[in-house]
Homo-oligomer: A and B are copies of this chain.
């Protein structure tokens, strides 16, 4: 079997953890599998490098930043190789370049165009454990690029797709994907399986086990993922196209995102195109808008609210104020004191009772719902931030602890 494994920065933070990971890799290798292992930079390496950079230049070019950051993963693979060598195992480490990871030229947020697998295959044919530096590649200029947040997961999935791997195991510091954040909801249950779409919704809701980008890539190429712990040897959660649990369980998880803000544009003129002009101005500033509601007023104007990432709230306000005359509205308010609670499940839409159960749970706790959004696999409610944890626990009880 050809297995791609990925270990994050905390899993390789020091010599002890590196040896622990080496033991996991060795176990799979000694079972007779072909092994490709993707590693992130050690613990705080990336932050340390960014600090060094900031001392010299507050706004360095992304090309040089990538040149600098790419060294972190290179150190990880070399050190892991040494740990495996010390166990007497055949191993070779490869940077993104050597592993054939070719990207576009978008420094610091590069996309993988293709993976040239010749070298990887050659090393696998020699029965070597192949360690690959995650998060990085090279572009058409032969310059180093990095893939942005969650880049090492993306590397792992891309390699698994290109090599037609049988498994792609993403090792993290949690034991899998849970029905809710287990640190907040004591009754949270680990899921054995989850669909790509459910995982995508959970990830975008702030359950940061896997970045959306790697899940999307896995879905596109049919790479079956497994999320599991590098500290506890136990089966994790499988992420795949159709999960066995779909028929049994209508919802898979509940997530909270309190990194959001609500922007309300007051008294927007109620004429054709007003809403478009508001949203277009925000979109052209590169800001993603999530939920939108419009409340009809009696004076021929509407109040319009939408949700953005908290970091984008000021920018959204600024761009709208600049266009206030052209758009036509009275004022803007920004509320960062909100949270988005989402219920995710592929079986949701075929079951009409889900939404009402969610509303019932919130009503039981006297939590006011400010905005509601639904999709094929998700119901999201915006509520006040202070009630968010209580809301998640209440919904979780309703669905999983009955």
A interface vs B, CB < 8 Å?
15, 18-19, 49, 52-53, 55-58, 60-61, 63-65, 67-68, 70-71, 74-75, 77-79, 81-83, 85-86, 92-93, 95, 97-98, 119, 142-144
Contacts and interface: CB of A to CB of B under 8 A. Distances in A.
B67 A52 contact: no
Q: How many copies does the complex hold?
A: 2
Contact of A85 (B19, B57, B119): B57
29 contacts: A18-B56, A52-B75, A53-B78, A53-B79, A56-B79, A56-B82, A56-B83, A56-B86, A57-B83, A57-B86, A58-B86, A60-B82, A60-B85, A61-B81, A61-B82, A63-B92, A64-B78, A64-B81, A64-B85, A67-B74, A67-B78, A67-B93, A68-B74, A68-B78, A68-B79, A68-B82, A95-B144, A97-B142, A119-B142
Contact of A52 (B15, B64, B81, B95): B15
A63 B142 CA distance: 22
Contact of A75 (B19, B71, B81, B86): B71
Q: Is the interface of A mostly helix, strand, loop or mixed?
A: helix
Nearest 10 CB-CB pairings of A with B: A68-B78, A71-B71, A57-B82, A60-B82, A67-B78, A15-B55, A57-B86, A64-B81, A56-B83, A56-B82
Contacts of A63: 92
Contact of A71 (B56, B58, B74): B74
**Most chain B C-beta atoms within 10 Å of own C-beta, residue among A55, A56, A77, A142:** A56
Nearest to A93: B67
Given A56-B15, A57-B82, A86-B57, A68 B75 contact: yes
A15 to B, nearest CB: 4
Given A49-B75, A56-B19, A79-B53, A85 B61 contact: yes
Contacts of A85: 57, 60-61, 64
A67 B81 contact: yes
A63 B77 CA distance: 12
A71 to B, nearest CB: 4
Given A52-B75, A57-B82, A68-B74, 9 more contacts: A15-B55, A53-B82, A58-B86, A60-B86, A64-B93, A65-B82, A67-B93, A74-B74, A98-B143
Nearest to A60: B82
A78 B61 CA distance: 10
Contact of A79 (B52, B58, B81): B52
Contacts of A83: 56-57
A83 B64 CA distance: 11
Contacts of A56: 15, 18-19, 79, 82-83, 86
A98 to B, nearest CB: 6
Nearest to A92: B63
Contacts of A19: 56
A197 to B, nearest CB: 39
Contacts of A97: 97, 142
A217 to B, nearest CB: 26
Contacts of A95: 67, 144
A83 B71 CA distance: 18
Nearest to A74: B71
